[in-house]
Structure 1
Amino acid sequence: MRHILIADDDKEIAQLIRIYLENEGFQTRHANDGHEALAMLKGFPADLIVLDIMMPGMDGMEVCRKVREHSAIPILMLSAKTQDMDKVLGLMTGADDYMSKPFNPLELSARVKSLLRRSFQYNTELKSEVSEHVLKLDAIEINKLNHEVTANGKPISLTSREFEILSLLASSPGRVFGAEEIFRLIWQESYFVSNNTVMVHISNLRDKLEKELGYKLIQTVWGVGYKIEK
């Protein structure tokens, strides 16, 4: 069940919105002003906010700004003002949609549903993208999209080659990669026997990882190559 927070000091309008949204299967809560709305958000798992601009104490613009400091929750802003500039300001503040009073409750319900669908689709795509580009192995997290590595939540500064080597080994835990294969895949050049480039990079990478983890993540299989255990 989706939860909607309605912030409006006009109790009749708020009640009208509640009736229509609850008839659509939503669970609602009502805040009479901006301060109450922010307080409710701490304990109410809202999926969307219907937010009036003109409220006593703290207006909807300020509430929107404060919400946007820490949340991307969809916000449908309401206002008795009809000027285009008010709409622009509302959207620039961080609102996702804007309706002028008086409004058709059926249209408001339709816009709420539309915002929730878009939010759900975006979050699903975002999670899919993140899971596709993030490797997690033990306490290590590798974000291939941002070229960032963390160990126990702490960022580790790696060179581009060190990052590529770690990503390669972590992509197939348990598999042994020979030095020649690593060089060919990462540097994309021909490997020669006396080349110790891979060994030096592995050594530096190990030192950085071990400093945060307290143990050696990358293991040497003597005479064969290197691997990261599952």
Structure 2
Amino acid sequence: MKKNRIIVLTDESGLSWDSLGLLEQQAEIYLAKGIQDTLSHLTICSYHLILIALDKETEVICQVVKSIRKTVMTPILVLLSENSKGRSRVIHAGADVALIQPYTAEEISLQAYALIRRYTEWKSERREEMLVMVGKLEVFPLQRTVEWDHKIVSVVKREFDFLYLLASTPGRVYTYSQIYQLVWQEYPHGDITNIIYCMVHRLKQKLKKVDVNAEHIISSVKEVGYCLKVNKE
């Protein structure tokens, strides 16, 4: 089963079918419909590699890389044309690897494999080490436990994942669609708003048992989603 996912931003002349074929053997491929589609998918889906193969000016490619890098830390592999002299500029813009033609489908596949492997290991280590604290809320990724004012809050898997998602970026609003894809790890289907509401309601009740004010740290944004409330004390 393919667990890794690659998002590809390319145009008609940017990437050969041979290259795509080799990549599809090691990961699921999503062909983005443009930069906006790429950015949209990166905010709601988890990818292990971003592959950019555009027949554009170096400055345009650098701007694309910078826009993506502001959104995610996912590795970026850029394929440049034979006459390109902007490899260093693309790297400084945020790309991890930039290959200049001529390159082979096998080389692209090997570079993709190496970047995905390092990123997967980095994510695993980072997730285990990062204790997240927001006010009295503490989320322990390694132990997968939650505490409020040093009191244990008994949570199940999705409740933990939801809290960790919000606590990692306090104040950021996640839409229902983003929450469902990141917590349930599925493409949204059915009445996801009600599904998420029920989960959040149960979680708030558990927080309330520990402290009557604890439930208010989860803030609902009407018709949009949820965020973790940041109190300025």
Partner of 2:147: 138
Check the 8 A contact 1:80/1:101 in 2, yes or no.
yes
Partner of 2:29: 28
Partner of 1:108: 108
| CA separation of 1:108 and 1:20: change in aligned 2, threshold 3 A | same
Q: Which amino acid aligns with 1:13?
A: L
| CA separation of 1:71 and 1:135: change in aligned 2, threshold 3 A | closer
Partner of 1:91: 91
Q: CA deviation at 1:12?
A: 7.2
Give the whole-Å Cα distance in 1 for the aligned partners of 2:83 and 2:13: 21
Give the whole-Å Cα distance in 2 for the aligned partners of 1:8 and 1:89: 19
Give the whole-Å Cα distance in 1 for the aligned partners of 2:65 and 2:74: 10
Q: CA deviation at 1:117?
A: 0.9
Give the whole-Å Cα distance in 1 for the aligned partners of 2:16 and 2:33: 9
1:19 aligned onto 2:15:
no
Partner of 1:6: 8
Question: 1:78-115, CA deviations, whole angstroms, 9 ceiling, x for partnerless residues?
Answer: 1105555x111111111011111232000110000000
Give the whole-Å Cα distance in 1 for the aligned partners of 2:68 and 2:148: 32
Check the 8 A contact 2:15/2:53 in 1, yes or no.
no
Question: 1:177-206, CA deviations, whole angstroms, 9 ceiling, x for partnerless residues?
Answer: xxxxxxxxxxxxxxxxxxxxxxxxxxxxxx
Question: 1:137-186, CA deviations, whole angstroms, 9 ceiling, x for partnerless residues?
Answer: 62248xxxxxxxxxx96xxxxxxxxxxxxxxxxxxxxxxxxxxxxxxxxx
Give the 3-state SS of the residue equivalent to 1:51 in structure 2. Answer: strand
- Gaps of at least 5 residues in structure 1 are 142-151, 154-209, 214-230
Larger Rg: 1
Give the 3-state SS of the residue equivalent to 1:50 in structure 2. Answer: strand
Give the whole-Å Cα distance in 2 for the aligned partners of 1:140 and 1:81: 59
Give the 3-state SS of the residue equivalent to 2:71 in structure 1. Answer: coil
- Alpha-carbon RMSD across the aligned residues, in angstroms, is 3.5
Higher RCO structure (Cα 8 Å, ≥6 apart) = 2
Q: Which amino acid aligns with 2:20?
A: R
| CA separation of 1:44 and 1:138: change in aligned 2, threshold 3 A | closer
Q: Which amino acid aligns with 2:69?
A: R
Q: Which amino acid aligns with 1:94?
A: G
Check the 8 A contact 2:14/2:54 in 1, yes or no.
no
- Percent identity, please: 18
TM-score, normalised by the number of residues in structure 1 = 0.52
Q: Which amino acid aligns with 1:106?
A: E
Aligned residues: 145
Give the whole-Å Cα distance in 2 for the aligned partners of 1:135 and 1:34: 34
| CA separation of 1:12 and 1:71: change in aligned 2, threshold 3 A | closer
Check the 8 A contact 1:65/1:93 in 2, yes or no.
yes
